[in-house]
Chain A
Amino acid sequence: MRYVFYLIIMTFVLVIQSSISPYIKIGGVNPDFFLIMLLSYSIIKGPERGSFYGLSGGLIEDLMFGRFIGLNSLTKFLTCYITGWGTKNLFKGPAVFTILFVFIGSLIYNLLFLLANYIFIPSFQRGNIFTFFIYTAIVNAIFAPIVYNFVYKIEHFFDYYFNIKY
Chain B
Amino acid sequence: MIFLLGLLKKRQFWYIVLVIFLITLTYRLTYTHEEIFNQIERPFLAVFSPISDFFSSMVNYFAGKVTSIKDIFYLKSQNELLKKKVDELSPYQKMYYELKTENEKLRRMLDLKERSYDYNLEAAEVIGRDPSNWFNILIIDKGTNSGVSKNMAVISEDGLVGYTIDVGKNWAKVLVITDNRSSISAMIQRTRDNGVVKGSVAPAPPGYLKMVYLPMDASVVNGDVVVSSGLGGIAPKGIIIGKVEEVKKESDNLMKFAIVKPAVDFNKLEYVFVIKNFSYAGRE
Contacts and interface: CB of A to CB of B under 8 A. Distances in A.
Interface of A: 11-12, 14-23, 25, 28-30, 32-34, 47-48, 51, 55, 61, 63-74, 77-78, 81, 113, 117, 120-121, 123-128, 132, 136
A127 B20 contact: no
Contacts of A12: 51
Interface of B: 12, 15-16, 19-20, 23-24, 26-27, 29-31, 34, 37, 40-41, 44-45, 48, 51-52, 55-56, 58-59, 63, 127-135, 137, 139, 165-166, 173, 180-181, 198, 200-207, 266-269
Given A15-B52, A19-B59, A70-B23, A29 B181 contact: no
Nearest to B62: A23
Contacts of B198: 125
Contacts of A68: 27, 30-31, 34, 37
Contacts, number: 138
Contacts of B181: 121, 123-124
B253 to A, nearest CB: 20
Contacts of B37: 67-69
Contacts of B128: 15, 18-19, 64-65
A70 B25 CA distance: 9
Contacts of A16: 55
Contacts of B56: 19
A128 B206 contact: yes
5 contacts: A19-B52, A19-B58, A19-B127, A65-B130, A128-B206
A156 B44 CA distance: 30
B203 A32 contact: no
